[in-house]
A and B are shown apart, each in its own frame.
Chain A
Amino acid sequence: MIHYFISLTALFLIQFSLVANAQEEADKDKTSSPNFIDDIKPILRAHCLKCHGDDKQEAGLNLQSYGSLLRGGSSGKVVEAGRSSQSVLFQAITNPDDDARMPPNSPTIAKSKIEQIRKWIDSGLLETASSKSMVKARNLTFKPSVSTDGKLDGPPAMPTKLPAIDFLKLTRPFPVLSMDASPTAPLIAVADQDQVRFFHTKTEQEIGRVAFPEGIPQVIRFSRDGVVLMVAGGRPVESGRVVLFDVNSGKRLAEVGDEIDAVLAADLSPNQQFVALGGSGRVVKVYSMTEGTLLYKLTKHTDWITAIAFSPDGKKLATADRAGGLHLWDPESGGILLNLEEHKAAVRALDWRNDSRLLASAGEDGRIVWWDTNDGFPAINKSNAHPPQRVQGTYGTIPNGVLAARFDAKGRLVTSGRDRMVRVWDVDGGEIEKFKLEKGIPLSVILPISANDPVSGDSAGNVIFWKK
């Protein structure tokens, strides 16, 4: 394992520029990008030009020349620079359905050729060896600023005036479904059955609890100033609600929603004007906190809502579902901004980097994507981010889902997965740290302020403060 050692001050000054390439395992491809004339044309000539060439243009598609290929066919473009997974051409030759795959009535094109085409699309559709990539260079420079998190009038909020509550008698510890760290104080809040527990990040000791009689807290989020704590959850197929607490006193400030199932995803907007929530109803509901009314519903999702996140500047709302659907909305109007298609299975986590430009999504397909939300391009796309351990002689799919993903103030991302690992990713998507859990599955994870190492919560009910 390589240890990166970067001093805190150095991190703050990092100016990092990345020519974004969406493909997985970016580094491998950089050395030699295939181009149309030398590498791709011969493949098309062998397999495609008979029906999609100068002589015949099935579906209006001519792959004979670079220009006509880019123009596409009767149903539109067939290649999307940088995104093989979204390119019709690539989908057609890799379709698992024998009847739908191109070329028709033929065996699949050789793996190596398919790989060439994938690289060619992902590296930016070069026409000749000297062409420039059509994937635009992205400057993912990130300048962390502490000031975005609100100017504090006084000392950061700590739960010093909580009323005493009864400790529930539990058969065994409740899985730590969610947690969050205060953006302003050395404090984390952790989900427990019918309760939320507070831990001091310095002492790593529990310092108090608030009751959540609504049931199981599925989502916990601090407000940007660390003063308010949002807890969303409920009882499965019974009731669900979002409750806002005052962190200092544990007082209930507001209650939102009257759901018939537990709320599975929710977020509080940075200006604390809106709460968005969703669950098995497949609808995202956005409530106004000032008027306490339902503002609008987002009905585009086709499966359970699994993650919701407002951008830190409050201008975008990201929502995701159990079928892999991921959409960006305008939280003011409820209008759709972008569909972000990449996940093939349930999205488990969404989080914004605090410059509001990058959105991280992670899911059961084992993928972590850093989206550039200006144009919806997957700036960094990591598949198999939490690869499963395969013992000799085992067959079948071993789940490698990513269950949690959170940015810290420095733009690093921490994730946890079904491989029982907690991993920390650098601004450029490089892995910088990993921690192995001995028992249980890490369900929630966070990098608290001014801490270098993550805190995780797992299915055995443990909260672990990791140390390098």
Chain B
Amino acid sequence: MFCCTLNSDLLAEDVSFQRDVMPILFRAGCNSGTCHGAARGKDGFHLSLFGYDPKGDYFRICEEIIGRRINIARPEQSLLLRKATGRVPHTGGKLFDSESDYYTTLLRWIEEGGLNDSGPVPEVVGLKLSTDSFVFNQAGEQNSIRVTAIASDGSQRDVTTLARFHSNNASVVDIREDGRLTATGPGDSNVFARFNRFTAGAEVIVLPSAENFTWPDPPVVNYIDELVFNRLQKLRIAPSPLCDDETFLRRITLDLAGRSPTVDEYHAFVSDQSVKKREQKIDSLLADDAFADLWTALWAEQLRIMGGNYAPVGTHIKAADTFYEWIRTQLRNDRPLNDFVSEMVSASGSNLINGPANTYTMLVHGPRFEPKAFAADFSQVFLGIQIQCAECHNHPFDRWTMDDYYSFVSFFSGIKRKPGVEPREQRIYYDTTMPPARHLVDGRPMPARTLGANEPLDYTGDPRQQLADWLTSADNEMFSRNLANRIWAQLLGRGVIEPVDDVRVSNPPTNEPLLRALSEHLVDSDFNLRSLVREICNSRVYQLSSQPNDSNRLDTRQFSHAKLRRLRADVLMDSVVTVTGVPRNFSGFPTGTRAIDVYPRLSGDTGGPQFGDQFFETFGRSSRATVCACETRTEPTLSQTLHLAVGDTLRSRLGAGGLINELLASSKTPETMIGELFVLALNRKPTPEELSSMQALLATAENDHSVYEDILWGLLNSTEFAFNH
């Protein structure tokens, strides 16, 4: 049979429940979380959230109460239609009218008998947008987008009228439900279309006025500068100038050594005449153990390391120490990050002897090992993705399905612990007799399968080595991009994808070429942490001033100027100690231990959030209650200000170290002494205005010990001290 036109061909086709009806329920919002997609449904009618269970939905619509929701004798009297068109009372209101295509399709389906699909329906395997990028010259301009679904049989279909749209930033671009975009203000953002279980996005740039904009054409050091400046030029944003040497020294020392620079370091750097002195400084800091210690602290936070004196669940201090020191050793020895992670993933054995085995007791604390919770935390830490949504329904804004989730959980379904020879010891082993996880919807066993793969692994026994190999291979972009993004975020104060542990289709990088290049650098350098850090720190982008200009003042995403970052709690404490010369003691650690080397050691058990120290709690160090990057808080609070102003952290240290006495004994001029205090606390010389106002304080009380103490107190209480700028 040869048909004349495509259209009549389509009309002749029967309406399919899965292909035609389900998308309408999705588009109209029937199966959304606030309506019938809620866990218990709404007003007595339940649909699976975003339609993850088509068979169940068919049953509930057509067979649960026969003759009510659809009426095959009088199709137009079906409750489904009358509710949707608002002809009978409906909590969700009127969703479409009876002239719409939605209504026509549903009606036709019911007229044809309201049948379920008899065979398998070609699955949607991807989504294509008509454009993947829009550039608007000014607010108010419009354009539109079309969405095409690609099916497993290769066929394509325009689903613009069935997709749901959203914009990531309505103050840049608005998108209507028919796919029409309107530019609302300068900036860059993304719009997304969702259909079936897929989300596809397009970049949107709304340019600021070209008037008064000239590209400064700054020099570039490496590819990072090229890629960031490319993007900035495209967006008509001028980067700030390079920061001065004083600022650079403070920034790089805080970032790589986890403390502020000393007076000696300051003088040595400022007086250095070498043109390569910044590069050399970076190299010397990278070679220092303090760098490894700082990164050990960051990993320990992520992996939720804490130890208790009473820890029946394997999280005893001794175990935590074993883990912590193992991580420190790997980082001091510059072990490739992929090997480092791989060893943790495949680790077994005693938690007191084999450090990395603690991954299976620390990441999820608890009396029982929970494969589901572990799989969720595992993917969040090592891949930066959150798959836990897919426990109950396909991820609404990402590619992950319930199949992906449960097959991934199966990697850990055999993990067990047994008591060791002493009460503190737990042995991690893999019980190969455990069945794989079962799918929530139909209870199907889901053998272990790596994320994104189509076929389960071929394995007998412990599948974790295969998991580790897949995870840390150079081909697994999710892994290398996650590491690169986290390293970038640590140094620039914001990830190319932010939050760093919520990578998903609908949260794209603000500069894709940059993230790709960073990730490739990491892979090419054999996952060498120091190599990537060196590259980033040497870039002009890292060394830009934090002082904004007119064109980049509003930019927070494109690295046009250095971000003001409040110091991490531990770095702040170590900086206070560096400045005052008086060490701080931490409970459970020897005197003189740096804050950066402290993890929570508790006298009791390790349940609940633990900061390990009051200061850490006030200044937002991670409580390690979850693996979320958001556990580390850097927003300023009133209690922080009060703590520094009147708390004992500063007060008791100012006099105790004898700093001021020494200074006064040196019989220098007040001007010199004020200058030295500035260098000590803020690593810079005072400005003439600052100097004269300070001198005024000393006019009547030259050599007054308390006035100098007040000046130092004031400097340490300044936001300049508490921030990396």
- Chain A contact residues, CB within 8 Å of chain B: 105, 168, 170-175, 177, 192-193, 215-216, 235-238, 260, 262, 280, 303-304, 322, 394-396, 399, 418, 441, 443, 459, 461
17 more CB-based (< 8 A) A-B contacts, given A174-B74, A395-B443, A396-B444: A174-B71, A177-B66, A177-B67, A192-B73, A193-B73, A216-B67, A236-B79, A236-B82, A236-B88, A237-B83, A237-B90, A322-B44, A396-B442, A399-B59, A399-B63, A418-B63, A441-B66
B73 x A172 contact (CB < 8 A): yes
Number of B residues near A (Cβ < 8 Å) is: 27
Mark B41-63 against chain A: 1 for CB-CB distance below 8 A, else 0. 00010000000000000010001
The DSSP consensus for interface residues of chain A is loop
> How long is the Cα–Cα vector from A189 to B638 in the complex, in angstroms?
78
9 A–B contact pairs at CB < 8 A? A105-B367, A168-B74, A171-B111, A172-B73, A237-B83, A237-B88, A238-B82, A394-B442, A396-B443
A170 x B74 contact (CB < 8 A): yes
CB distance from B435 to the nearest CB of A (A): 13
A418 neighbours in B (Cβ, 8 Å): 63
A170 neighbours in B (Cβ, 8 Å): 73-74
CB distance from A207 to the nearest CB of B (A): 21
> How long is the Cα–Cα vector from A441 to B72 in the complex, in angstroms?
14
> How long is the Cα–Cα vector from A170 to B113 in the complex, in angstroms?
12
Q: Number of contacts between A and B (CB, 8 Å)?
A: 70
Of the residues A193, A262, A396, contact of B441 by C-beta under 8 Å: A396
Which chain B residues in 436-474 approach chain A with CB under 8 Å?
439, 441-444
Of the residues A237, A443, A461, contact of B79 by C-beta under 8 Å: A237
CB distance from A213 to the nearest CB of B (A): 13
B73 x A173 contact (CB < 8 A): yes
B68 x A262 contact (CB < 8 A): yes
B73 x A441 contact (CB < 8 A): no
CB distance from B707 to the nearest CB of A (A): 62
> How long is the Cα–Cα vector from A112 to B696 in the complex, in angstroms?
90
> How long is the Cα–Cα vector from A441 to B443 in the complex, in angstroms?
25
A443 neighbours in B (Cβ, 8 Å): 66
Which chain B residues in 503-562 approach chain A with CB under 8 Å?
none
A174 x B73 contact (CB < 8 A): yes
> How long is the Cα–Cα vector from A193 to B76 in the complex, in angstroms?
13
> How long is the Cα–Cα vector from A262 to B68 in the complex, in angstroms?
9
CB distance from A459 to the nearest CB of B (A): 5
Mark B325-353 against chain A: 1 for CB-CB distance below 8 A, else 0. 00000000000000000000000000000
Of the residues A174, A238, A303, contact of B67 by C-beta under 8 Å: A174
Select from chain A the residue with minimum beta-carbon distance to B63. Answer: A441
A260 neighbours in B (Cβ, 8 Å): 89
A322 neighbours in B (Cβ, 8 Å): 44
A172 x B113 contact (CB < 8 A): yes
> How long is the Cα–Cα vector from A396 to B59 in the complex, in angstroms?
13
Quick check: is B75 within 8 A (CB to CB) of the other chain?
Answer: yes
Select from chain A the residue with minimum beta-carbon distance to B110. Answer: A171
Select from chain A the residue with minimum beta-carbon distance to B65. Answer: A264
A193 x B74 contact (CB < 8 A): yes
Quick check: is B77 within 8 A (CB to CB) of the other chain?
Answer: yes
B439 neighbours in A (Cβ, 8 Å): 395
B367 neighbours in A (Cβ, 8 Å): 105
> How long is the Cα–Cα vector from A353 to B444 in the complex, in angstroms?
42
Select from chain A the residue with minimum beta-carbon distance to B445. Answer: A395
> How long is the Cα–Cα vector from A444 to B59 in the complex, in angstroms?
19
Which chain B residues in 81-101 approach chain A with CB under 8 Å?
82-83, 88-90
A280 neighbours in B (Cβ, 8 Å): 44
A171 x B74 contact (CB < 8 A): yes
Select from chain B the residue with minimum beta-carbon distance to A172. Answer: B72
B88 neighbours in A (Cβ, 8 Å): 236-238
A461 x B73 contact (CB < 8 A): yes
> How long is the Cα–Cα vector from A260 to B90 in the complex, in angstroms?
13
A175 neighbours in B (Cβ, 8 Å): 66-67, 72-73
Select from chain B the residue with minimum beta-carbon distance to A364. Answer: B64
Most A CB within 10 A of own CB, among B74, B88, B111: B74
> How long is the Cα–Cα vector from A216 to B82 in the complex, in angstroms?
15
CB distance from A100 to the nearest CB of B (A): 15
Select from chain A the residue with minimum beta-carbon distance to B77. Answer: A235
> How long is the Cα–Cα vector from A319 to B63 in the complex, in angstroms?
23
CB distance from A75 to the nearest CB of B (A): 28
Select from chain A the residue with minimum beta-carbon distance to B440. Answer: A396
B44 neighbours in A (Cβ, 8 Å): 280, 303-304, 322
CB distance from A464 to the nearest CB of B (A): 16
Select from chain A the residue with minimum beta-carbon distance to B43. Answer: A280
Nearest 8 Cβ contacts at the A-B interface: A396-B442, A174-B73, A237-B88, A395-B442, A236-B79, A170-B73, A395-B444, A193-B73
A459 x B66 contact (CB < 8 A): yes
Select from chain A the residue with minimum beta-carbon distance to B75. Answer: A171
Select from chain A the residue with minimum beta-carbon distance to B55. Answer: A396
Most A CB within 10 A of own CB, among B72, B89, B442: B72
> How long is the Cα–Cα vector from A322 to B45 in the complex, in angstroms?
12
CB distance from B670 to the nearest CB of A (A): 68
B89 x A237 contact (CB < 8 A): yes
> How long is the Cα–Cα vector from A105 to B88 in the complex, in angstroms?
51
> How long is the Cα–Cα vector from A461 to B71 in the complex, in angstroms?
12
> How long is the Cα–Cα vector from A423 to B553 in the complex, in angstroms?
78
A394 neighbours in B (Cβ, 8 Å): 442
CB distance from A86 to the nearest CB of B (A): 25
Select from chain B the residue with minimum beta-carbon distance to A348. Answer: B65
> How long is the Cα–Cα vector from A174 to B89 in the complex, in angstroms?
24
> How long is the Cα–Cα vector from A396 to B402 in the complex, in angstroms?
15
A168 neighbours in B (Cβ, 8 Å): 74
Most A CB within 10 A of own CB, among B63, B68, B79: B68
B69 neighbours in A (Cβ, 8 Å): 236
> How long is the Cα–Cα vector from A245 to B79 in the complex, in angstroms?
27
> How long is the Cα–Cα vector from A280 to B44 in the complex, in angstroms?
8
CB distance from B208 to the nearest CB of A (A): 53
Select from chain B the residue with minimum beta-carbon distance to A215. Answer: B77
CB distance from B57 to the nearest CB of A (A): 14
Select from chain B the residue with minimum beta-carbon distance to A192. Answer: B73
